[in-house]
Amino acid sequence: MTIAVTFPGQGSQKPGFLEPWLSESKHRETLERVSDAVGIDLIKHGTESDAETIRDTAVAQPLIVAAGILVWDALVARSADQLAGVVVAGHSVGEISAAYAAGVFDAPTAVRFVARRAELMAADAAATPTGMAAVLGGEPDAVVAQLEQLGAAAANFNGGGQIVAAGSPETLAAVQAEPPAGSRVIPLKVAGAFHTRYMDRAHETLAAEIEQFEVAGPQRPLLTNFDGARVDSGIQFRQLLVDQVNRPVRWDRCMETLTELGVSGLVEAAPSGTLVGLAKRAMRGTPTVALASPDDLEAVATLLDSAAQ
């Protein structure tokens, strides 16, 4: 039996969510180091900045990845001997945190990659007004068909009865007016239609710069949002990270793979809550821990102990 450690995507950030971690100097030093690597004050954004400031894609994405790096380091420091067989996966930008946890990227490379990704995606989002909305409920194939009929794209297949639609404001308004059968639609506070054709220029530019980001082979099982499969090549995973910029996120398939692997628990790194919630619906009966603060490390250690027995 093993445990999955997962990393959330954009939209999971909350004002002040890193405050509990910075009481320890080693965690503050980690954030200082990655802040210096990209020229963004991630300590300020993780503790003082308001919701609107950290909603900005160019801030949100590096902040979430930096949090993943910090939390993984804290987990290694607390439970290194118990992490050998852990499976790691991330949702959207969380895949970059997962790449760090797997050893594909080192910390400076991870934050340089995400900062460039965020810059390019923010530029595409600014070029054309777009947004996203969560479609909750409904039969998945029927939901996708209705979205396509209305001109929207299915950008995230999150599992647990949730698909995220993306498109122009007019298109999303049409989805709200004509929701797929058996569903309800909730607009999301996201700055663009990520993981769709609206991100094509970002994908093209990042693909041309891919060799600037060095990689190593994964040191532990690592899943991809492309189809939920395990990836054993750092070079391949880097390419998949680039390609996911304008391709749908299949978190549903990641959870299916985790179930097939027989994981006995799921941990979500800060800013936690989203993936634990999805797992409770799609991986019923699987114990979960939302690793929101250092106080939660003991619960993770207990979960790891139970998996080893």
* Same domain for 29 and 85: yes
Q: What's the pLDDT tens digit per position in 119-170?
A: 999 999 999 999 999 999 999 999 999 999 999 999 999 998 999 999 999 9
Q: Is 136 exposed, middle or buried (0-12, 13-18, 19+ CB in 10 A)?
A: middle
Residues 204 and 294 in one domain: yes
Whether residue 248 sits in one domain with residue 116: yes
Which pLDDT score is estimated for 309? 67
Q: Which one from 12, 49, 79, 92 is the annotated catalytic residue?
A: 92
Residue that finishes a domain, picked among 188, 210, 234? 188
Q: Does one domain contain both 165 and 234?
A: no
Single residue among 147, 163, 188 that ends a domain in this structure: 188
Total of domains in the chain:
2
Shared domain check, 184 and 78: no
Per-residue pLDDT reduced to its tens digit, 23-44 = 888 899 999 999 998 999 999 9
Catalytic residue among 27, 91, 195, 203: 195
Q: Where are the alpha helices (DSSP H) in the chain?
A: 25-38, 42-47, 51-55, 57-79, 94-102, 107-127, 140-150, 169-177, 200-208, 234-243, 251-260, 274-282, 297-308
Amino acid, res. 263? V
**Residue 201: both structure tokens together:** 């220029």
Residues contacting 43, CB < 8 A, separation 6+:
18, 22, 28, 31, 32, 35
**Are 43 and 25 within one domain?**
yes
Q: Look up the domain containing 135 and give its range.
A: 131-188
For this structure, is 92 an active site residue?
yes
- How does pLDDT run across 167-189, given as a tens digit for each residue? 999 999 999 999 999 999 999 88
Q: Which tokens belong to 183?
A: 């569903």
- For residue 168, the Cα-to-chain-centroid distance in whole angstroms is 23
Task: Tell whether 67 and 117 lie within a shared domain.
Answer: yes
Portion of the chain with pLDDT greater than 70, in percent:
100
- The pLDDT tens digits of the residues spanning 71-97 come to 999 999 998 888 988 999 999 999 999
Domain boundary among 188, 206, 224: 188
What is the secondary structure of 115-131 as a DSSP string?
HHHHHHHHHHHHHS--E
Q: Are 105 and 145 in a shared domain?
A: no
Q: Do 150 and 118 have their domain in common?
A: no
> 295 and 168 share a domain?
no
Do 272 and 252 contact (CB within 8 A), yes or no? no
Q: What is the DSSP string of 159-176?
A: ETTEEEEEE-HHHHHHHH
Same structural domain for residues 122 and 142? no
Output the CA angle 179-90-258, nearest 5 degrees: 85
First to last CA, the chain: 8
Q: What is the CATH number of the domain that holds 32?
A: 3.40.366.10
Dihedral angle over CA of 90, 104, 265, 294, nearest 10: -90
CATH of the domain at 135: 3.30.70.250
Give the residue carrying structure tokens 């509990």.
Answer: 20
Q: Are residues 166 and 225 in the same domain?
A: no
